[in-house]
């Protein structure tokens, strides 16, 4: 692989189509980065995001039609009427895209025709790239959203088989895949590290200053979960209650599943972002937004090999600790404003520079042109991480034990990574 050039390539600029989901403002901000690089990709989504991320193409006629037909085909008694029209429209969009675009960036395992159009795209010489953000690639049996809901083992096994099959199909036809080790256990081919690409974010006003200093004597802590159980919200609330009872001066704000604009406004008046209890990354989407305003993030999880798996590059700045250390780490931040300021400023410098939309888009252009440094990639067959996301180690231990007793090691679908399979089996046997 060639060394990356963070500037624009001398090759003919690609014509890019992006679809079909918005994920924590990633693609909306990526569009801004492409625009700064002189490109204007087409971005379409199946539906409107409930948190109202700002897709600049959302008001175009073709996008409005897609939203309308998608909603009609998925809800109510009109499914029978809308579904065939919806699929015919998708075929029409595909035919138009084949004429207009040479590069396709897909998210959440999507495509125009449920990945069945990928052979045609490849046959016609199109470049196909898939971006994975977490649960769209993570094995369902290590996903806290399945462990903490009423999803039964049979359905988890069905989700697992379906995901493995779809990922194998995508790997067969994709030009490249962008993902991260803690949720790429089902991938088999060398993969581009998501943290190397980055999470672009820029406020509506790019000249916006860091967060507004509060005149309150209390330290303002924000937690803004989209789901409460797997984010550890109840545990966070209990920890905050204990710290207040122990004399810490804290103002705690929880915003549950609200629109993105409300979260952004709250971040401007926040001292600490309390992100996730069982995270497998140090700076996810919300934490990146916080960093833009100089707000430090405290997050916990079990992914201790992050630096090693990222080839010891500079990690996005946050305080990433084990879940059992979250209370004392929060107390430390509450009582050390200088550390908060240092961490917040470091994170702000990182995301405004290394993860600016223009630079993230430039790296994606480099990927499209095949200019990728080898140390920006990883071999998913060597992944050792199995603690997943969104679940405590004890709850995961119990769930995996039950799952293995019913479906055996074949139900893990890890024939390509026998070391990881053995580690999971050993983990379930621990007392």
Q: What is the pLDDT of residue 50?
A: 66
185 CB-near residues (< 8 Å, 6+ apart): 138, 139, 142, 380, 383, 385, 386, 414, 417, 420
- Contact call for residues 41 and 18 (beta carbons, < 8 A): yes
User: What's the average model confidence in pLDDT over 357-361?
Assistant: 97
User: What's the average model confidence in pLDDT over 59-87?
Assistant: 92
Q: What is the pLDDT of residue 88?
A: 98
Residue 296's SS3 state is coil
Q: How confident is the model at residue 10 (pLDDT cuts 50, 70, 90)?
A: low
Two tokens, residue 208 = 């916006």
Task: Give tens-digit pLDDT for 235-264.
Answer: 999 999 999 999 999 999 999 989 988 999
Mean pLDDT score across all residues of the chain:
93
Q: What is the pLDDT of residue 217?
A: 87
Selection from 28, 7, 36 nearest residue 362 by Cα: 7
Domain extents in the chain: 16-200+360-378, 219-355
How far apart CA 289 and CA 316 sit, in angstroms, is: 12
Evaluate whether 16-200+360-378 and 219-355 have a shared fold. Answer: yes
Task: Give tens-digit pLDDT for 113-125.
Answer: 999 999 999 999 9
Residue 143 phi/psi, 5-degree rounding, is -105, 115
> Cα dist. 244→100, 252, 394 in Å?
59, 10, 27
How far apart CA 124 and CA 101 sit, in angstroms, is: 11
The 3-state secondary structure of 176-245 reads EEEECHHHCCCCCCCEEEHHHHCCCCCCCCCCCCCCCCCCCCCEEEEECCCCCCCCCHHHHHHHHHHHHH
Two tokens, residue 68 = 């309308």
Q: What is the pLDDT of residue 4?
A: 44
Residue 222 phi/psi, 5-degree rounding, is -115, 135
Q: How confident is the model at residue 3 (pLDDT cuts 50, 70, 90)?
A: very low
What is this structure's pTM?
0.93
User: What's the average model confidence in pLDDT over 73-79?
Assistant: 86
User: What's the average model confidence in pLDDT over 212-217?
Assistant: 66
How far apart CA 343 and CA 122 sit, in angstroms, is: 45
Least confident of 105-109, 145-149, 173-177, 377-381: 145-149
How far apart CA 217 and CA 224 sit, in angstroms, is: 22
The percentage of the chain sitting over the pLDDT mark of 70, rounded to a whole number, equals 93
| Domain 219-355 top-level CATH class | alpha beta
**What is 16-200+360-378's CATH topology?**
Rossmann fold (3.40.50)
Q: How confident is the model at residue 56 (pLDDT cuts 50, 70, 90)?
A: low
């Amino acid at each position: 692989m060639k060394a990356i050039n963070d500037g624009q390539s001398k090759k003919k600029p690609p014509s890019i189509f992006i679809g079909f989901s918005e994920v924590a403002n990633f693609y909306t901000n990526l569009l801004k980065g492409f625009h700064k690089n002189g490109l204007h990709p087409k971005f379409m989504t199946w539906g409107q995001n409930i948190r109202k991320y700002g897709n600049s193409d959302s008001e175009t006629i073709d996008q409005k039609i897609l939203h309308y037909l998608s909603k009609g085909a998925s809800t109510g008694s009109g499914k029978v009427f809308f579904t065939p029209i919806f699929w015919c429209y998708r075929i029409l969009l595909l035919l138009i895209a084949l004429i207009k675009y040479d590069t396709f960036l897909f998210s959440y395992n999507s495509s125009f025709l449920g990945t069945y159009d990928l052979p045609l795209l490849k046959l016609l010489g199109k470049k196909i790239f898939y971006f994975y953000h977490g649960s769209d690639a993570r094995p369902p049996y290590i996903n806290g959203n399945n462990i903490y809901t009423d999803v039964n083992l049979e359905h988890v096994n069905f989700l697992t088989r379906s995901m493995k099959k779809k990922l194998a199909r995508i790997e067969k036809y994709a030009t490249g895949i962008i993902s991260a080790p803690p949720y790429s256990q089902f991938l088999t081919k060398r993969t581009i590290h998501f943290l190397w690409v980055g999470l672009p974010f820029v406020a509506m006003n790019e000249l916006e200053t860091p967060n507004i200093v509060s005149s309150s004597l209390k330290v303002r802590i924000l937690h803004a979960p989209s789901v409460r159980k797997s984010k550890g919200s109840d545990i966070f609330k209990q920890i905050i209650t204990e710290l207040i009872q122990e004399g810490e001066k804290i103002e705690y704000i929880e915003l549950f599943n609200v629109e993105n604009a409300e979260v952004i406004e709250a971040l401007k008046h926040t001292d600490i972002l309390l992100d996730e209890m069982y995270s497998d990354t140090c700076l996810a989407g919300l934490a990146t937004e916080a960093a833009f305003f100089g707000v430090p993030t405290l997050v916990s999880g079990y992914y201790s090999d992050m630096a090693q798996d990222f080839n010891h590059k500079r990690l996005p700045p946050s305080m990433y600790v084990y879940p059992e250390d979250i209370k004392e780490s929060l107390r430390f931040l509450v009582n050390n404003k200088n550390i908060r300021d240092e961490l917040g400023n470091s994170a702000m410098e990182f995301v405004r520079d290394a993860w600016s939309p223009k630079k993230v888009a430039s790296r994606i252009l480099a990927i499209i042109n095949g200019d990728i440094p080898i140390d920006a990639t990883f071999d998913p067959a060597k992944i050792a991480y199995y603690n997943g996301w969104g679940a405590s180690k004890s709850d995961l231990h119990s769930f995996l034990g039950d799952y293995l007793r019913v479906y055996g090691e074949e139900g893990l679908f890890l024939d390509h990574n026998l070391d990881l399979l053995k580690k999971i089996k050993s983990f379930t046997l621990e007392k």
